[in-house]
Amino acid sequence: MLLAGCQDPPSTPALVDLVNPLIGTDSEYAFSHGNTYPAVALPFGMTSWTPQTGKRFSAWIYQHDVNSIVGFRATHQASVWRGDYGQFSLMPMSGELSPDVEDRRTTFSREREAASPPSTGRTSTSTTSTWRCPRP
């Protein structure tokens, strides 16, 4: 009879599910809103992967208000103020290849964008879905 009043403790979400990696990504040179980018990397990893929505030589690799992407960038950039080195960008595409990065720019849907600490994904309107997640 005493057990009838007992309840299971409320379930709590995993802390990693409460993290939003897009917070602080709406930055530009004129005004900073965090100066971060949604990086995917192993803990203490040497290289991070991030979608590149910013201009080619911009320190702001990812800008949240831009709904197009030019590639997925391998970066070592710890801060926009420190710059980057040894970076390169990959872009899944088909058709004629072009050396001009703006020719590869494609739009994607914010509604179909997903970002969490262990992975990031974008669904392009003209190419394919892509996901990035670190592996040891």
Q: What is the CATH number of the domain that holds 78?
A: 2.70.98.10
Per-10-residue mean pLDDT of the chain, 136 residues long, equals: 65 83 80 79 82 79 86 82 80 80 82 72 55 61
Does 10 reside within a domain?
A: no
pTM: predicted TM-score of the whole model, two decimal places: 0.72
Backbone angles phi, psi at 110, to 5 degrees: -60, -35
Domain that holds residue 125: 17-91+104-136
Q: Which two tokens stand for residue 107?
A: 């739009």
Specify the 3-state DSSP secondary structure of 2: helix
- CA neighbor of 59 nearest in space, from 38, 73, 88, 79: 79
Query: What size, in residues, is the chain?
Result: 136
Closest to 77 in 3D by CA, of 62, 95, 99, 96: 62
Residue 86: what pLDDT? 80
Is residue 7 in a domain?
A: no
Other Cβ atoms closer than 10 A to 18: 9
Please answer whether residues 120 and 109 qualify as being in contact, where contact means their C-beta atoms are separated by less than 8 angstroms: no
CB hemisphere CA count around 107 (13 angstroms): 4
If one counts the domains in the chain, the total is 1
Give the per-residue pLDDT at 126. 54
